[in-house]
Amino acid sequence: MIVVRQKPLDEICAMIAGHRSVLLVGCNTCAAVSLAGGETEVDTLLQLLRLTNKRHGMFIELSPAVLQRQCEPEYIECLQEGAYDAVLSLGCGAGVALLASTVGKPVYPALDTLFIGSAKGLARWQAECSACGQCVLGMTAGICPITRCAKGILNGPCGGVSDGTCELGDRPCAWVEIYERLDSLGCAKKFDTILAPKDNTTRQICEWDMSEGCDEK
Amino acid sequence: MAITHTNRSNQDDTRDGRLFAPCRARCPIHVDVPGYLAAIAEGRFMDALEIILARNPLPSVCGRVCLRPCEDGCRRCLLDEPVAIAALKRAAADTGVYPAPRLARRIPGRIAIVGGGPAGLTAAHDLAALGLSVSIYEDKPRLGGMLRYGIPNYRLPDYALDRDIEYVLSHGIEAHTGVRIGRDITIEELSAQYDAVLVTVGLQDSRALPIPGADKPRVLKALPFLEACANGESMDLGARVVVIGGGNVAMDVARAARRHHAKEVRVVCLESRDTMPAAAHEIHDAEMEGITVHCSWGPREITGENMVEGLRAVRCERVFDLERRFAPVFDEETVNEFAADTIIFAIGQGPDIDELGLPVTFRNSIMVDPVDLKTSVAGVYAAGDIINGPTKIIDAIASGHRAAASIFRDLTGHGDTLESLDQESAVLGRVPDTMAAKVETRRRIQMERLEHWDAILNFDEVELGYTEFEASREAQRCLSCTAGARLAVEKCASCLTCTRVCPHGAACLNMGGYLYFEVEACHACGACVSQCPAQAINLETVSEEDLSRRVQRKLADRGMDTSLVFSCGHVPDTLIEAGVDFRAVQVSCLLRVSERSVFEALEEGASRIVFTRCTEGDCRFPHAQDLVNKRIRHIRKMLSEAEMSEAFLVTTAPDEHFTTEVDTP
């Protein structure tokens, strides 16, 4: 799932300032599951913006909408034509982008897209994948070094590790974790394999068509 | 109604009102008990009263003297004590203001109701509300029947009864009192004047035993005695009174005799202590007032020359035979004589219907079709105790509803909503162990009452009722059975947040990965509702829209710009003492107040929002504390981004001063 979080309020206010009528659009898939873009968050942000605008003597008409998924054209079609002159998207980057290419009006992101992640209990998520296009998880016991290692190195750990902690100090060393899990699975030998440099052109994939193949730039 | 116990989680059942909480299922008229308790828990007494009145037109009466089958079913029975449902109904009736009657468009049809007791009043209320013209004929000078003339004022004072009767009559019902049917006007004459006649005369004949001496002066019967008490007549009963009988009426008679300055009141009954028909609390109250109960004695003779000197009784060894038929067996050797100046028979009531001229059963009650309550005379119906024998008030009310529905159907050809009373429904099963382990045990709040030695001095009401605060607190003990979380599957984003926050494991995943709620395990704390990003979960009894309306009403109350207090429970006195001008909205848990509600209230003119929190030991939903903390942090963060930090304050009740903000961990 794509994990998102709401931008600071002043950033959002600055984006929509100058518009007369703004439609807030939530996304009932990843953004809702991230507790940042569901109907509840749309309503909450809408009320907060009304309150802030009123305090600053501004009047922007705000209305709410929630799409099942902002990254599907068919769902966007459900969006009713309205008198709004801008859209504030509470979806991930993909949702903002598709909305922007569809609605013919300025579209602004209310959220920052963080990572592809998994749930770690109530309202906590773990970054798990950076969509690099060349998965190495089979060699790393399911722990992504591109995502979880601060340097994103393919053969670790680096010299910065101390007591299993990354030199940044805010996370465990991904490579130490990889070794420990491989060891617990009885596959510690995999650790000896030197991973070849990745083909970074896969990061540049711009479009993917199952039947035609990809257009790699 | 067929009731089956269930462990079902199928929500459609509850949404149709077909899965009932046990309290609601056991009530003969299925009043929405969890619904009105939820309203009282939030201090919404008017709403509670309206919910009750939707099914029960006599809440003030039932709140005081109903034998409350609902409380026996309360799922809290197994945890600590049942919720004081009847007392809370009384609180709603005493505190709330009776609404203006909702009347349907007038339709042709005139109904005469003979008898102004609970069954007659209920049927009159229903039929008048449906647009028919209703007249009540009552023998006695005032309406109420046994409620007025059979139940002493210390249990059901006139003012309490009159509130209900006024409400019923406000539906445009004519009352003709002092008219005895059969003597002043006959059933045939009524039938000629009205489209339907409903007979709800009750059981007016007080039974006595044909024992030697029973014709002496100062040998009284229960109903005339109680009626004299109700009329405020003063009586000289002498110092020693013996009451014969073991039911609730006997207790009423004994306690009434005590209030007529009888020094020594004895209740002598055939049954053993365990099998006495009187409710345990009635016996207890009687004994506390100095009345002695002598069980297993069969009256044989009232002794004395001209005046009563005593009651001679023999030991009763058994009251019923093996087939539960009344067949007392006596030991004639064991004799006891109870000295008495007055003896009062309270051994049951019977019908007094010879003058009516209607066909009767072998039990001398009016013969009716048990389904539509029609007698064999066209256009004449009967309901209440006169067809069912002595039953509870609430049974008479149910019977009145049924008769009204039947009359309405016959006159108009329309089936009516009243019939939904008879629909089949399932009953929620017991509290699962996992939930029982996490629900706070909390004893029932005891109602203030007159001390026993003061109570016997006069006929003043003994039970003084709950204060609003006590009522809210008591209502918060309700487990909100069947009134908990509802999932709108089409909105669900499958984020599983509800499964992570529910302390009782009520939010479950089925094999296909779809969510559902286990109705039995939910006690409507609202944790899932507060966290659901898709607004796919609702509570049956409260909604954000309702809260929004309440906030708007509060803010519209007066012109001055003031603080809006959201309070779980009650607003601390310190607020009032501090002279703060505030408007309070009581919620059953602060989790009900979303970020959105706070911002909306501020936008609509509240100068600031105050959360008054319960303290840990006080909290109804301890597991919700963390979530409330999280919400408070979130609101603070968002308001600080909007540079409005000063508009939000959190304080605890009642020991913290209003101006001291509480740190949220």
DSSP class of residue B662? P
Asked, for residue A122, whether it belongs to a domain, the answer is no
Asked, for residue A56, whether it belongs to a domain, the answer is yes
Query: Chain B: nearest CA to A55, how far in angstroms?
Result: 9
Cβ proximity of A69 and A50 under 8 Å: no
Closest to B495 (Cβ–Cβ): which among A9, A33, A66? A33
Residues of B in contact with A65 (CB under 8 A): none
CATH number assigned to the domain with residue range B110-203+351-422, chosen from the 4 options 3.30.1490.20, 2.10.10.90, 1.25.40.80, 3.50.50.60: 3.50.50.60
User: pLDDT tens digits for B18-28?
Assistant: 788 999 988 99
Query: Chain A: nearest CA to B609, how far in angstroms?
Result: 13
Contact A38 B602 (CB under 8 A): no
Residues of B in contact with A121 (CB under 8 A): 500
Closest to A9 (Cβ–Cβ): which among B491, B602, B638? B638
Query: Chain A: nearest CA to B565, how far in angstroms?
Result: 18
Contact B497 A35 (CB under 8 A): yes
Which ipTM was obtained for this model?
A: 0.89
DSSP B253-288: HHHHHHHTT-SEEEEE-SS-GGG-SS-HHHHHHHHH
User: pLDDT tens digits for B87-125?
Assistant: 999 999 999 899 998 888 889 999 999 999 999 999 999
Domain count, chain A: 2
Alpha helices in B479-586 (DSSP H): 497-501, 527-531, 544-556, 573-577
- For B485-539, CATH gives 3.30.70.20
Closest to B596 (Cβ–Cβ): which among A33, A43, A123? A43
Give the C-alpha separation, B21 to B139, whole Å: 39
- Whether residue A37 is found in the same domain as residue A96: yes
CATH number assigned to the domain with residue range B206-349, chosen from the 4 options 3.60.130.10, 3.90.400.10, 3.50.50.60, 3.30.2130.10: 3.50.50.60
Cβ proximity of B574 and B657 under 8 Å: yes
- Whether residue A6 is found in the same domain as residue A97: yes
Cα dihedral A33, A39, A42, A47 sign: negative
**Helix H or strand E segment including B350:** strand B349-350
- Whether residue A86 is found in the same domain as residue A160: no
Q: Which CATH class for the B3-99+425-475 domain?
A: mainly alpha
- Whether residue A8 is found in the same domain as residue A108: yes
Alpha helices in B502-605 (DSSP H): 527-531, 544-556, 573-577, 595-603
**Which residues, including other chains, have CB under 8 Å from residue B199's CB and lie 6 or more apart?**
B114, B115, B181, B187, B356, B358, B366, B375, B380, B381, B382, B383, B386
User: pLDDT tens digits for B251-303?
Assistant: 999 999 999 888 999 999 999 998 899 988 889 999 999 999 999 999 999 99
Residue with tokens 């709620």: B517
Residues of chain A with pLDDT under 50: 217
The answer for A 44-73 residues in CB contact with B (under 8 A) is 44, 47-48, 50-52, 54-55, 66
pLDDT average per 10 residues of sequence, chain B (665 residues): 44 55 90 92 92 94 92 90 95 93 88 94 94 93 92 93 95 92 88 93 89 88 92 88 93 93 92 90 92 93 88 91 88 90 91 82 84 89 90 93 92 68 72 83 90 89 91 91 90 92 88 87 88 91 86 80 79 64 84 91 88 77 84 92 87 51 53
- Whether residue A165 is found in the same domain as residue A98: no
Contact B532 A40 (CB under 8 A): yes
- Whether residue A84 is found in the same domain as residue A153: no
Give the C-alpha separation, A145 to A175, whole Å: 7
Question: B489 touching A, CB under 8 A?
Answer: no
Q: ∠ CA(A175), CA(A177), CA(A183), 5° rounding? A: 105
User: Given A115, A141, A173, which residue is the final one in a domain?
Assistant: A115
- Whether residue A88 is found in the same domain as residue A167: no
The answer for B 628-647 residues in CB contact with A (under 8 A) is 638, 641-644
Asked, for residue A125, whether it belongs to a domain, the answer is no
Asked, for residue A207, whether it belongs to a domain, the answer is no
Cβ proximity of B486 and B540 under 8 Å: yes
Question: B594 touching A, CB under 8 A?
Answer: yes
- Whether residue A59 is found in the same domain as residue A154: no
pLDDT given at position B12? 44
User: Given A48, A83, A115, which residue is the final one in a domain?
Assistant: A115
pLDDT given at position B440? 82
Mutate to test the interface with A, among B502, B548, B600 (most CBs of A within 10 A): B600
Question: B14 touching A, CB under 8 A?
Answer: no
- Whether residue A108 is found in the same domain as residue A150: no
pLDDT given at position B416? 58
Query: CA-nearest residue of chain B to A44?
Result: B596
Per-domain residue ranges of chain B: 3-99+425-475, 110-203+351-422, 206-349, 485-539, 544-652
Token output for A213: 């193949």
**Helix H or strand E segment including B24:** helix B22-26
Domain carrying residue A155: 132-199
- Whether residue A93 is found in the same domain as residue A187: no
Query: Chain B: nearest CA to A97, how far in angstroms?
Result: 22
Query: Chain B: nearest CA to A155, how far in angstroms?
Result: 35
Contact B642 A40 (CB under 8 A): no
Query: CA-nearest residue of chain A to B492?
Result: A28
**Which residues, including other chains, have CB under 8 Å from residue B274's CB and lie 6 or more apart?**
none
Asked, for residue A208, whether it belongs to a domain, the answer is no
Measured between its terminal Cα atoms, the distance across chain A in Å is 26
- Whether residue A106 is found in the same domain as residue A153: no
Contact A9 B642 (CB under 8 A): yes
Contact B534 A28 (CB under 8 A): yes
CATH number at residue A87: 3.40.50
Burial B222-250 (b: 16+ CB within 10 A, else e): bbebbbbbbeeeebebbebbbbbbbbbbb
Contact A29 B532 (CB under 8 A): no
Same fold, B206-349 and B485-539: no
Question: B555 touching A, CB under 8 A?
Answer: no
Give the C-alpha separation, B224 to B236, whole Å: 15
- Whether residue A107 is found in the same domain as residue A171: no
